Structure formats: structure tokens, C-alpha cells
Amino acid sequence: MKNIQKVYIETYGCQMNLSDSEIVVSILSEGGYGRTEDINSADIIFVNTCSIRENAEERVRKRLQFFRSLRKKKPELVIGLLGCMADRTRAALMDEEKLLDLVAGPDAYRDLPQLLSQVGSGQKAINTILSADETYADITPVRLDANHVSAFISIMRGCENYCSYCVVPSTRGQERSRDAASVVNETRDLFEKGYREVTLLGQNVNSYEWKSGDETINFARLLERVAQVDPLMRVRFATSHPKDISDELLHTIARHTNLCKTIHLPVQSGSNRMLDLMNRKYTREQYMERIDAIRRIIPGCAISTDIIAGFCHETEQDHRDTLSLMEWVGYDYAYMFKYSERPQTLAADTLPDNVPGTVKEQRLREIIDLQQKLSYQSNRQDTGKTFEVLVEGVSKRAETRYYGRNSQNKVVVFPKTGSGPGSYVHVQVERFTSATLLGKVV
Ligand code: 5AD
Ligand code: SF4
């Protein structure tokens, strides 16, 4: 009997990519391949890549050099590149560096068994064609998460917002939504397997739309159906675009206790001039109005964001506008980046990357320092409060403690109780650090 070939897969970038790796593993296991978590015993190495910032690509390139050293010891080792870097780098990586045997873009994963057999017969294999309708709706992902409590479900792919800094429309193509029934079924299946939390993923979940007969299911309706699978199944989602997060959605979140009270609403900048150059399609004032709506409709809702420092033409005043907006919102959490020019974006084609590196770094530093202060304040306000916490596992720092999350997505650590991962406990917060709430079960 032929030995089963084992695949090792490494993932870079966002949650969407993690979710894609789970689809890849599912397709490969259907195709007769095994999986390994030990790189040294792999016959095939896949790296699922991210292009969002220059440093993400650099990390992948370094890693590929390491794989090259593994192949020196094991010449039959197959090395493949998947995901967002596929299209833009395939020529360089396959021809010049002669390192890759296979390249597959985000919409080409069904083709992987065929591409691998092509490699098996001594050819290089490439498929980077983007699709208008691929959603992998019928594929049951093989969960790669460690805790078996919380899983990702991809509900749409691609993006057509064309924010001027962003490479995603070019790497992931047209926006398309996945069959609503398949999302609900996948949630139910996960619940039956013991999962207690799903995160619905898309580049802009607010523009989710699925037509079924005469009915049009928008994101608020989809979220409601997923929430109705079981009250014990928590539901989160990412990412929302501020220009189209509706009151209908906010009321839906308020109505269901298992729809988590946390919204990730990337602002990118607090300056109207920057927002316009970024092609974000909202103003600072409109963004603030949406924050007011969240506070009014969902009291106690956590709000997180993404911020870019040093975008094209950004002045000190624009930067101050970002800091003042951060203070005004009082974000619970933020992902903060310095601007990195990406090829095939509106900004790369039409705007100069003219904020010096040292200035970008300085502004990013100020943004991070302010966010640390805001996160600290947010955690301080939680002291004394009691939260329902979904237990995820044993704390890495102390065997005697569990960790989990509250509805607001904050990590909560507490002494072990009888009920383990997958159960809900009430924890009263006694202390906190900048990243964690600590408390006791009540
Ligand atoms: N440079 C820096 N940050 C970027 N992001 C997207 N593109 C870029 C870029 N070219 C950030 C945005 C986005 C998050 C996923 O990554 O803040 O919301
Ligand atoms: Fe990176 Fe964007 Fe691709 Fe996700 S979709 S892997 S963030 S480039």
C-alpha cells in the first residue's frame, strides 16, 4: 500500500486565513492526504500567506528560506505557497528562486489535489485564478483550533470597498456571500460537537446578502438565525465597515444574549482629510454618530478598532485628530499599524508614501501608548463587576486556573472550578492587568 503523504500547513495573517487553512486541510483529507503538526515528518509543506503589510510578506519570505534548508536534507519535499501572496509573487518565487513547487490563490483550493498530482509527475503547478462565486459553502472545515470551544465560520469572501491603502480587493477578488442555510447548518454541527462559540468572518460582514427564493437575507437576519441555533452558542463577527453598520443590526445584537456585546469597528484615522484620501466613505462625525448609536442601543458593548499611522500626506494635526477620536471613543482594544504601501492599490498608484519612517514610528508609538491607557481604564471600570465567562482552557501561566472570555471579548482568569472548557461560569473581577481580568467564581 502506498504511504499516505503528510501535509504540514503554516498560516500567516488574519482569522480569514486561518479559516481558509481549515478548508484546505478538509479538501486535502478528502483527496487522501494526511496532516502533521511536525514539520520534520512532512512530505508537503504549505504556507498560507498574507499580503496586507510589507512585514507580513517579509516574514513569509524568511520562512521560505528555512524550508529551502529542509529540502536540502529531503529533496522530495514539496513546498507550496497558498493565499494572498500567490498571484503577485508566483513568477518570482517559482522561476527565480526555484523554491516553490506549487502556488494556489485563495479561490483555487479545490484544485489542490490535482495540482499536487501534477507536482508528483514532475511539473510545477499554479492556479491563481480568482472566482466570482467560490465560497467553499459545501466544505466542512477540519478545525485546527486547539480548544474545541470556539470556531471560525467564513460567511463571505473578497471585498469591493477599495479603501485606497488596501490590497485585499486585488488579492481576494470580488465580494460574494455564502449560502445562509450552509452557515446555519455549520453552526448547528459545531454545537452538536461541543463548540460553544462561533465567529462569523468576512472582510465587510455588513454587506452580506443571500437571496433564497423571494427572501433576501441580510447580515442582521443571518446573525439572528445563527443566534437561534442554541442560546448556549455564543456568536461573534468581524469585520464591520462603519459606513454600513445599521441600527437593525445593533437592535438584533441587543435582543439576543448569546450575540456577544462587542463590535470591531475599524476607524483607520480620526481626520476627515485622511478618511477621504483613504476612500473610507464616512466622516469623523458619521463615525461618532455610529458609536453613539452603539452606546444607546447596546449598553455595555465593547468597541475595538484598527488604526493606521502615517498614511499619505498625514500631518501632525491629522495625527492629533486620530488621538482625540480615540480618547472620545475610549476604545477597549485596538490593532495599530504604520502605513505600508502595497502594490496594486489606489494609494500606490495615485498618492506619495511621503510620511518619513521615523515620523510614522513616532506617531504609532503615541497611538499605542494612548491605547494602553484606554485599555487599562476600560479594565479598571470592570473591577467589581460579574461577567458570564465561557471557559476555554487552562491558563498558560498557572495550572490551577482556567481562562475564558466574557461577552465583551476580554480574557478572564480565575481558579479552576468543576466545570471545564465549554461551560459557562460567573466570575467577579477582583484585579486586572492591561490585558487580563482576574477574579473568582461566584
Ligand atoms: N498598511 C498598514 N495597515 C494596513 N491595513 C490594511 N492595509 C494596510 C496597509 N497598507 C490595516 C487596516 C485594516 C487591517 C486589517 O490592516 O487597519 O483594517
Ligand atoms: Fe492578509 Fe488581508 Fe489576505 Fe487576510 S485577506 S491574509 S489580512 S491580505
Residue nearest to atom 1 of ligand 2 (CA): 50
How far does residue 99's CA lie from ligand 1's centre (Å)? 29
pLDDT exceeds cutoff 70 at 395:
yes
Residue with cell 498557572: 398
- Cα 123–Cα 129–Cα 130 angle in degrees, nearest 5: 155
* Ligand minimally distant from the alpha carbon of residue 157: 2
Strands 78-83 and 34-35: unpaired
Phi-psi region of 218 (alpha: psi -120 to 50; beta: other; left: phi over 0): beta
Residues 108-167: pLDDT tens digits?
A: 999 999 999 999 999 989 999 999 999 999 999 999 977 899 999 999 999 999 999 999
How far does residue 33's CA lie from ligand 1's centre (Å)? 35
CATH of segment(s) 386-441: 2.40.50.140
How far does residue 375's CA lie from ligand 1's centre (Å)? 21
Residue with cell 467553499: 136
What's the grid cell of residue 319? 495625527
Mean pLDDT, all residues of the chain? 95
| HSE value, Cβ hemisphere, 13 Å, CA-based, for 146 | 4
pLDDT at 96: 54
DSSP secondary structure code for residue 244 in this structure? G
Residues 328-338: pLDDT tens digits?
A: 999 999 999 99
* Ligand minimally distant from the alpha carbon of residue 156: 2
How far does residue 303's CA lie from ligand 2's centre (Å)? 22
- Cβ-contact 21, 11 below 8 angstroms: yes
Helix (H) or strand (E) holding 212: strand 209-212
Axis-axis angle for helices 284-297, 316-329 (nearest 10): 10
- Residue 9, classified by CB atoms within 10 Å of its CB into exposed (0-12), middle (13-18) or buried (19+), is buried
Torsion of CA 321, 323, 324, 326, to 10 degrees: 120
Q: Regarding predicted confidence, which is higher, 413 or 434?
A: 413
| Contact residues of ligand 1, CB 6 A cut-off | 52-53, 165-166, 266, 268, 306, 308, 337, 339-340, 342
Ligand 2 pocket residue status of 16, Cβ below 6 Å: yes
Interatomic CA distance for residues 202 and 265, integer angstroms: 13
Distance between first and last Cα of the chain:
57
For 33-79, give the DSSP string.
-EE-S-GGG-SEEEEEE--SSHHHHHHHHHHHHHHHHHHHH-TT-EE
Work out the pLDDT band at 87, boundaries 50, 70, 90.
confident
How far does residue 255's CA lie from ligand 1's centre (Å)? 32
Strands 262-264 and 302-309: parallel
Ligand 2 pocket residue status of 170, Cβ below 6 Å: no
Helix segments in 104-245, DSSP class H = 112-120, 168-172, 180-192, 219-227
* Domain limits, the chain: 6-127, 150-380, 386-441
Ligand 1, from 277, 308, 345: best to mutate by most atoms within 8 Å of Cβ? 308
Ligand 2 atom at minimal distance to the Cα of residue 12: 6
How far does residue 204's CA lie from ligand 1's centre (Å)? 14
Using alpha carbons, select from 16, 50, 270, 46 the residue that is nearest to residue 171: 50
Interatomic CA distance for residues 402 and 76, integer angstroms: 44
CATH topology of domain 150-380: pyruvate-formate lyase- activating enzyme (3.80.30)
Choices 3.40.50.12160, 3.30.365.10, 3.30.300.130, 3.90.105.10: CATH for 6-127: 3.40.50.12160
pTM: 0.95
Residues 150-207: pLDDT tens digits?
A: 999 999 999 999 999 999 999 999 999 999 999 999 999 999 999 999 999 999 999 9
Ligand 2 pocket residue status of 17, Cβ below 6 Å: yes
Ligand 2 atom at minimal distance to the Cα of residue 51: 8
Residue nearest to atom 17 of ligand 1 (CA): 306
How far does residue 218's CA lie from ligand 1's centre (Å)? 26
For 74-142, give the DSSP string.
-TT-EEEEEETTHHHHHHIIIIIS---SEEE-TT-GGGHHHHHHHHHTT--EEE----SS---TT--PP
How far does residue 308's CA lie from ligand 1's centre (Å)? 6
* Ligand minimally distant from the alpha carbon of residue 337: 1
Domain pair 150-380 / 386-441, same fold: no
Residue nearest to atom 5 of ligand 2 (CA): 168
Residues 257-273: pLDDT tens digits?
A: 999 999 999 999 999 99
Q: For residue 257, which phi and psi values (nearest 5 degrees)? A: -65, -25
